[in-house]
Chains A and B, each alone.
Chain A
Amino acid sequence: MHRPVAKPAFDPHRIRRELTIDATVRGTVLITAAAAILIASAAEPEQGPLTWWLLLLVVGVWMLISGPNAKVVRQIPPITDMIAAGRASAGPTLAAAIRRRPLVRAVRLALYHRLAMLRHRQRRYAESAMICHAVLVECPKLSDQSSPTPTRPGTSAHTGERMRIHLLLMLVEARLSLGDLMGVYVTLVELHRHKLNLLELMQLQALQTRYELACGYTDRALERVREKVRLAEVMPVALGGAMHAMLAAAARQQNQPDLAHWLRRRTAMLVSHEQRSLITGLGYPIATQAVGAGDDRASHDPGDRDPEDMPYTGGSWNT
C-alpha cells in the first residue's frame, strides 16, 4: 500500500526561482530604459515631445517596479519586531511581502532570512534549516574567507555579512535540534571564519557548548570555563542561564562536583523553574535571542520555596 508522500514544507528551489523572476523583470526594464535613452539621444531635435514622452514612460515604469520594493523595505523592520514578539500576524504579513515582485535581490533574501527566523521561533527546525541553507547558498560570500578582513560598517557587504552570520547561527541550532552533528561541525567551522560582534559571540559560545555536550566532548566544554562563565554573566539572562546549565552538566560528567554544584546553584538563581524546563527540554531558542532584551516571559512566583532547593534536571540533552 502506498503511503501518501508528504509535501515538503519548503521548496529550496523556490528562492532561486523567485530571484530569477525578479532579475528578469528588472533586467528587462533596465534594457528597455537604456534603449529608450539611446533612442531619445539619437532622435532629431524636432521630435522633442516624443523623446520626452519616451523618457517619462521609462521613469514611470521604473517607479512602478520600484514601488513594491520600497513598500517591502519599509515592512521589514515591523516584521522583525512581530517575529521577536511572537505575534501571530508575523506569518501572514511576511507571506504577503514575499508574494510581491519584482524585488531587489538583497530585499528578497532579507525576507527569506525573516522567514527562517519565524520558523526558528516556531521551533520548526527542519524547515528553518532548509531555508537558512537555501539563503546561504544565494548570499554573497566574503571574497576571501582566509583573510578575515572586517567589512566596513555601513556598506552592503557588512549588512550581508551580519545576515550570513545570523543564518549560520540559526542553522547550527536547527541542525543541533535535528541531531545532524556533522552538519553542525561544518557550520561551526564556517562561523569561526567570521568576525563576530558581542551578541553573535555569545550565541556561538552557547551553541558550541551545546554541540560539545551533544558529542560527549565535555572536557572541551569545560576548557577556559572561567572565561565562559564571565561571558555567560553578561549574556541576556535566559541565555546566561542556559549556558550555566550546560556547563553544570559538563562538570557533572567530568566528575567535578564542586563546579557542577556551583553552576547549578547559579542557574537556579538566574532562571526560573519554567525557563529551566525549556532549557533542558531543548525548547530554548539561542540563535534568536537579543542582548539587553531581557526576558519577555513573566517570572512566575513558585511560592515561598527557596530556588536553590528546587528540583533541578539540568543537562538532559547530553545523555
Chain B
Amino acid sequence: MTPVTTKHSAPPTPQQVDEHLDRWAVRRPPVATAWAPWMVLVFCVALGVVSGGGWALVLMWFGLVTFWLIVAARTRRFRRLESQVNAVRELAVLRRWRQALRTAWRTLPSVATAPPMHDRLVAMMALCLDQLGAYEAAITAYDYLIDRLPPDEPIAVQASLQRAIAQLADNRLTDADHAIRVQRAQVDSANHPVLSATFRLAELIQQIKTNHWNDAARDSHGLVDALRPLGIDAANGYALAALAHLGQSDSGATSPEQAQRWWRRATLLLPRAALTGRFPELHRLDGLQDAAKPWAGGRRA
C-alpha cells in the first residue's frame, strides 16, 4: 500500500491518490466467496436428503449451523466496517482533516467490496484533501467519485461543485467554468438548500478569481440567506464579498463600510487565519477589523 502521510508530512500527491484509488477500486467479491455459504448449505441438505438418516442427518445440521455462523460473521464484519467509516466521518465533522484523511486512507482497502461505504470514504478523502489545500489530489479523488456515481444523485452534484471549487483554487478556471455551467440546471432541479448554497459559493469564488468583482459586490444582496445552509463555512463567502466590496470601493461603486461589514460577518464565524489560509487573496483585507470576540484576545469591531 502507498505509505500514508504522517502528521507533519505533506498530503498525498495526485499520483499517490490515483494509485491508491486504482489499487483499491470497488470490486465485486469473488463468486466463490460470495456463494460459498449457500453452496455448503445446498450440498449438506442434498447429502442429507439423498443418503437419509445417521451421519447424513448430522452433516445436514452441521451445514446449517456453519451457514448461520458464516452469515452472522459477515453481518458483524459489515457493521464493524460501517462503524469505521462513521469514525472517519466524525473526524471530518470535527475538522481533524489530517487524522480523518489518514484513517480513510487506511480503511479504504477494507471497504473495496462494499460500494456505498467505499464511495463515502472517497468523498471524505476528497474533502479532507481539499481542506488541506491539496487541490490537485482532491480533484483526482472527486474525478474518481463523479465517474462512479449516477450524475443526478445529490452526492454527485455536491462532489461536482466541490471539484469546481477546488479547480478554482487550483486556478483551473476553464474546467471550473464548464463544471459550474453544467451543474446549474441540476442544482435548480434538486431544490436542496446545501447544494444551492455550495453553488452560490462556487459562483462567488469564480467571480473573484476572474476579477468580476463588481458582479460579486452587486450579487451580495441576500448572500447571508443563500449561504446560511453552509453553517460557519459560509464565512468564506462573506469574506469574499468583503474583498469584492473593498475592490469596488476604489471606483466609488460601493463603500469601504460595506467591506468592513461583510468582513465582520465573516470573522464572526471563522477566525481570520482560517479565512486567509483558504483564500490567500484575503490578505488584502488585513486593514479591516475583525468581529469582536467576547473573551480575552478578541478585538472590538
Residues of B within 8 A of A270 (CB): 228, 231-232, 269
B268 contacts A269, C-beta separation under 8 Å:
yes
B225 contacts A272, C-beta separation under 8 Å:
yes
Task: Determine the distance from Cα of A159 to Cα of B291 in the docked complex, in whole angstroms.
Answer: 45
- Range class of the A interface residue count: 35 or more
Residues of B within 8 A of A154 (CB): 75-80, 83
Q: Mark A83-97, 1 if CB is under 8 A from B, else 0.
A: 000000000000000
B224 contacts A269, C-beta separation under 8 Å:
yes
B53 contacts A48, C-beta separation under 8 Å:
yes
Q: Which of B83, B294, B295 has the most CB of A within 10 A?
A: B294
- A28-57 residues with Cβ-Cβ distance < 8 A to B are 40-41, 45, 48, 51-52
Task: Determine the distance from Cα of A258 to Cα of B296 in the docked complex, in whole angstroms.
Answer: 11
Instruction: Decide if B29 is an interface residue (CB 8 Å cutoff).
Output: no
Residues of A within 8 A of B224 (CB): 269, 306-307
Total chain B interface residues with beta-carbon distance under 8 A: 42
**Stretch from A4-12, A107-115, A205-213, A287-295 forming part of the interface with B:** A287-295
A304-B265 in contact given A198-B94, A234-B95, A299-B229 (Cβ < 8 Å): no
Q: Which of B76, B228, B230, B268 has the most CB of A within 10 A?
A: B228
Task: Determine the distance from Cα of A51 to Cα of B93 in the docked complex, in whole angstroms.
Answer: 60
A153 contacts B83, C-beta separation under 8 Å:
yes
Q: Mark B259-298, 1 if CB is under 8 A from A, else 0.
A: 0000001001100000000000000000000011111000
A301 contacts B76, C-beta separation under 8 Å:
no
A41 contacts B57, C-beta separation under 8 Å:
yes
Interface residues, chain B, with chain A CB atoms under 8 Å away: 49, 52-53, 57, 75-80, 82-84, 86, 89-90, 93-95, 191-194, 221-222, 224-226, 228-232, 234, 265, 268-269, 291-295
16 A-B pairs (CB sep. < 8 Å): A45-B52, A153-B83, A154-B75, A197-B90, A198-B94, A233-B269, A234-B93, A240-B232, A262-B293, A263-B294, A266-B268, A269-B234, A270-B269, A294-B229, A295-B193, A297-B193
